[in-house]
Amino acid sequence: MPAYSSGRKPNSSLRWILMLIGAIVVFGGVLGIKAIFAKKTNDFFNNMPQPAVAISAATAKSERWNAAGDAVGTLFAVNGADVTTEAGGVVRSIEFEAGQPVSKGSVLLRLNTDNEDAQLKALETSAKLAAVQAQRWQALGKDKLVSLDDVQQRVAAAANARAQVDAQRALIARKTIRAPFSGVLGIRKVNLGQYLAPGDAIVSLQQLNPIYLNFTLPEQMIGKLVKGGKISATVDALPGQTFDGDITAIDPLVDTNTRNFKAQATLQNPGNTLRPGSFAKVGFELGAAQDAVVIPQTAVSFNPYGNAVFVITSEKRKAGETDAQGKPLTGNKLVVNQRFIKTGATRGDLIAVIDGLKPGEQVVSSGLLKLRNGAEVTIDNSVQPSSDTQPAVSNR
């Protein structure tokens, strides 16, 4: 008996559709579960409490500051020059030691004057003869034995001879080189037997006490700086020492290239410790003392768009806040918020705040790069940046 057959063929299209639906359900479920886990993870990290940032803090203080300015300058000798000779000649003797102090008029060097001395003797002899002849002709003139014109010619000849003697003596004197002013000599630039032409440098001579300090300031300071004002100066070569002086000159001309003007102060230098050419930092007062809000410079974030500080305030915690371990937190917390300020003068490690901060407010003095607005902080002042008005570099 033949096997039973329904006569219907399997539907392959339906089978593929069912398989596709099953695959979609499986993969969709996997992707959905993954999306749920990702959302849960993101929510956890987004809502995870941030640990408090450890910072050091400083309190804004009100101090009495004199209006002051600062600049950089260079020291110059009141008198300083290379000693030279007016007349040429061969060096016969050198009568100074390099680096020694000398007084005005001290002999430094002598040139050979043998030829000039011989000419002087001849001129002196001629001058004596001319003087004797002039006297004789004057006596003859009184007796009307010679004309008045002849007498005058003889007198003029005698005067000319004396003038030639004086000129020769002046030439010899120019070959003895003396110190034009009191000061300290440098290193000699000539040797015995060397020929010197007029204008050749012999040695440097510098007057060191007192000493000038020249510095430049922007033109906006012209009306604020006054002659006779006090200044203080420091030099890198003498750390820890401060030199006081007075402003003795203010240049009325403003440089058209830099828009700066020059000022000059005079400093006493009894020990000759300050030397011409040295770099100096200058500080000066501009008026009466004023109250200023002062904070450490490390608390200020200096930016092209404005200077700012992080101000510390106390806030009450929200209900349900927890720490990183999930433990509930209570009480107040310290948070920081950035605030723009207007800064003024600086003194050492401190800076004056003209606007934007009040005395008594706390600001972050270190750790600024780790902060953002609303960040919670903890204060650790065990190590703090320096905040001295006159900081000194320590050798370690």
Domain boundaries in the chain? Answer: 53-65+290-379, 69-76+207-287, 113-174
Q: What's the CATH number for 53-65+290-379? A: 2.40.420.20
Whether 285 contacts 265, CB under 8 Å = no
For position 344, what pLDDT does the model report? 81
- Give the Cα separation of 243 and 255 in Å (integer): 28
| 69-76+207-287 is a CATH 2.40.30.170 domain | yes
Confidence class for position 309, pLDDT limits 50, 70, 90: very high
The answer on pLDDT for 315 being more than 70 is: yes
The answer on pLDDT for 388 being more than 70 is: no
- DSSP-derived letter for residue 360 is T
Mean pLDDT of 326-354: 82
Place of tokens 């100066």: 233
Whether 261 contacts 253, CB under 8 Å = yes
Do 69-76+207-287 and 113-174 have matching folds? no
The answer on pLDDT for 48 being more than 80 is: no
- Give the Cα separation of 82 and 99 in Å (integer): 14
Confidence class for position 229, pLDDT limits 50, 70, 90: confident
The answer on pLDDT for 283 being more than 50 is: yes
CA–centroid distance for 210 within its chain: 22
Classified by CATH at the fold level, domain 113-174 comes out as Helix Hairpins (1.10.287)
Quick: pLDDT tens for 96-114: 999 899 999 999 999 998 8
Q: Between 280 and 157, name the one with better pLDDT.
A: 280
Cis peptide before 101 (omega within 30 of 0): no
- Give the Cα separation of 264 and 247 in Å (integer): 6
Quick: pLDDT tens for 161-192: 888 888 888 888 888 999 999 999 999 999 99
Task: Give one DSSP letter per residue of 299-346, joined into a string.
Answer: G-B--TT-EEEEEEEEEEPPTT-B-TTS-B--SEEEEEEEEEEEEEEE
Q: Token pair for residue 113?
A: 């004057």
CA quadruple 96, 100, 105, 108: dihedral, nearest 10:
20
Confidence class for position 1, pLDDT limits 50, 70, 90: very low
For position 329, what pLDDT does the model report? 63
CA quadruple 308, 310, 311, 314: dihedral, nearest 10:
160
Q: Token pair for residue 81?
A: 């020059």
